[in-house]
Chains A and B, each alone.
Chain A
Amino acid sequence: MNRQAQAVVLFLFGGAILKASLSDLYLRYVKEGLRPFLIAAGAALVLAAIMTLWYEYRAAPSAGASSADEHDHGHAHHEPRVGWLLILPVLGLLLVAPPALGSFTAGQSGTVQVSGSSDYPPLPAADPAPIGLLDYASRAIYDEGRSLAGRRLQLIGFVNTSPEGVQLARIVVSCCAADGRPIKVGLTGGPVIDVPSGTWVQVTGKYTAQRGKDTVNQADIAYLEVEQWQPATPPKQQYE
């Protein structure tokens, strides 16, 4: 792999990172907090590509060119051929741009084991009160729904059809999508949810004491008594 080819690959790689982090594309893969670092890293890669080309072309017409080439040749076996592989993430980001993790992961992995908290702050005053799936599961399982009692709740997630019935799910990401695991909430009662797995829906309902077990990892699953549901557009940040 010669230096010009390396510069082109670096430029494409940095450009792809820049494009992903300047749009909302990066949110499918990593947490929001990484954005400034991604932009800086992408810019640095593009700069490295430009500087490589600059030194290549500046050296080319002078007498130093031949010595530089021989220099190159002298340790050609050290030139990183493996660098060609950097084309793959460029294609992945620019051409394919794979979607955020969804129902495949939810079907393959067991639900997140929610942790309890000593203090559950009151829900927002709005009716129905919006609440995240992790928060709901934690309040339902560890607080026996005390802080949820008597309230109408609104949850958003995608449909996951499992052996235990229809569930609402979201992917929880602590660092990047590679560590993504689903949080699942069982749905009971209400109108039949007849959309395919992976469809984003908004569900309004109430706490129920019903519990289930995830067949994959035997973790507890909280349930929600559905009043109504409707298809929803996926939020900008699909992970929880």
Chain B
Amino acid sequence: MVETAERKRSIEVEVLAVLLVALVILRDRISGVIGGERLQTWTTVFVSVLVQAVPFLVFGVLLSAVIAVFVPRSFWAKALPRHPALAVPAASVAGVVLPGCECGAVPIAGSLIRRGVTPAAALAFLLAAPAINPIVLTATAVAFPDDPEMVLARGLASLAVAMVMGWLWLRLGRTEWIKLPHRPDLDGASKGRAFWSACRHDVVHAGGFLVVGAAAAATINVIVPEAWLQTLAAQPVLSVLALAVLAVLLSICSEADAFVAASLSQFSLTSRLVFLVVGPMVDLKLISMQAGVFGRRFTARFAPATFVLAIVAATGAGLVLL
């Protein structure tokens, strides 16, 4: 068992090394292939989305690891009000202090439930934390320098969705839908080890999904003709639905999605707000992570309900505030 794990490990690093050497040798050929103007522009946009997102991703992961490792988890259970209906808004607002992206919030919400926090509060936290924390709101402000009300609208709409989903769970949710897997955690490990382990995992995981999102965003940026986007963007209802679906498909980390939304400049501010509210709460990578942590029966109900509610709340906030 141990031996096969050891062998598998060494092979992975060797394959990586061979691959890199081959790429360096073939460097000129690769550059030749990427010579076309369209492909070159794709590469520029792809790299730039990533470069822009990296500081936000890294600082989010570092801070989230600090909180996950150095703040005892029992603290959350003590800090929340005992009554479930009151714990929901408290947990939503507590999301403000978790400056991670959604990939970090899923395991934390799982461990909150394990530590005896009412599921409704943990779920409200799960939805609120990635959307209304300071790093995400700062990123939104940086991405929309001319529309500061975007930050307010994003925060309020996301908070509303998180709280309503929490209360909805108190009303309709059943505990047996949630099936937490038995998972050893790093409680026994030293703080330093747990900290760097959390950092490594979160950067690699979230970064990997960010690459997918950047590639999709670059493809849309280069392939889809502006005229076509303009017809879609010109229809208010269609543009809201289109960007809601796009947010689910792109699965961009909440720390970076504001920059992608800013680049979708043909679309109305309201439809881009829908993109920003839906994205951190429902997307492909979250659906798969939630299915892994909470079970499929839970996710099959939770994700569609959140999706619909997020569209409604964001559209409402957009109509009032933007």
Using CB atoms and an 8 Å cutoff, list the residues of chain A in contact with chain B: 1-10, 12-13, 17, 20, 26, 28-30, 34, 37-38, 40-42, 44-45, 48-49, 51-52, 55, 65-66, 69-75, 77-78, 80-89, 91-93, 95-96, 98-101, 103-105, 108-110, 174-179, 181, 216-217
CA distance A100 to B47 in the complex (A): 11
Interface membership of B142, Cβ < 8 A: yes
Using CB atoms and an 8 Å cutoff, list the residues of chain B in contact with chain A: 1-2, 5-6, 8-9, 12-13, 16, 19-20, 23-24, 27, 30-31, 34, 37-38, 40-41, 43-52, 54-55, 57-59, 62, 142-143, 145, 183-184, 192-193, 196-197, 199-201, 203-205, 207-209, 211-212, 214-215, 217-218, 221, 225-227, 230, 259-260, 262-263, 265, 285, 292
User: B52, A216: Cβ atoms under 8 Å?
Assistant: no
Q: List 16 A-B contacts (CB under 8 A).
A: A2-B9, A20-B51, A29-B47, A29-B51, A34-B52, A45-B54, A45-B58, A48-B203, A69-B6, A75-B184, A89-B50, A93-B51, A95-B23, A100-B44, A175-B142, A178-B260
User: Which of these, B12, B62, B212, B285, contacts A5 with CB under 8 Å?
Assistant: B12
User: B31, A96: Cβ atoms under 8 Å?
Assistant: yes
Residues of B within 8 A of A40 (CB): 55, 58
User: Which of these, B30, B57, B145, contacts A96 with CB under 8 Å?
Assistant: B30
How far does the Cβ of B201 sit from chain A's closest Cβ, in whole Å? Answer: 7
User: A216, B226: Cβ atoms under 8 Å?
Assistant: yes
CA distance A104 to B215 in the complex (A): 18
Residues of A within 8 A of B24 (CB): 95
> Which B residue's beta carbon lies closest to that of A20?
B51
Residues of B within 8 A of A48 (CB): 196, 199-200, 203
Nearest 4 A/B pairs, CB to CB: A82-B208, A29-B48, A83-B204, A177-B48
User: A8, B16: Cβ atoms under 8 Å?
Assistant: yes
Known A5-B9, A83-B204; further 15 A-B contacts with Cβ < 8 A: A2-B9, A10-B204, A41-B58, A45-B58, A48-B196, A48-B203, A55-B193, A82-B205, A85-B212, A93-B51, A103-B37, A175-B142, A178-B48, A178-B49, A179-B265
Residues of B within 8 A of A44 (CB): 58-59, 62
How far does the Cβ of B212 sit from chain A's closest Cβ, in whole Å? Answer: 6
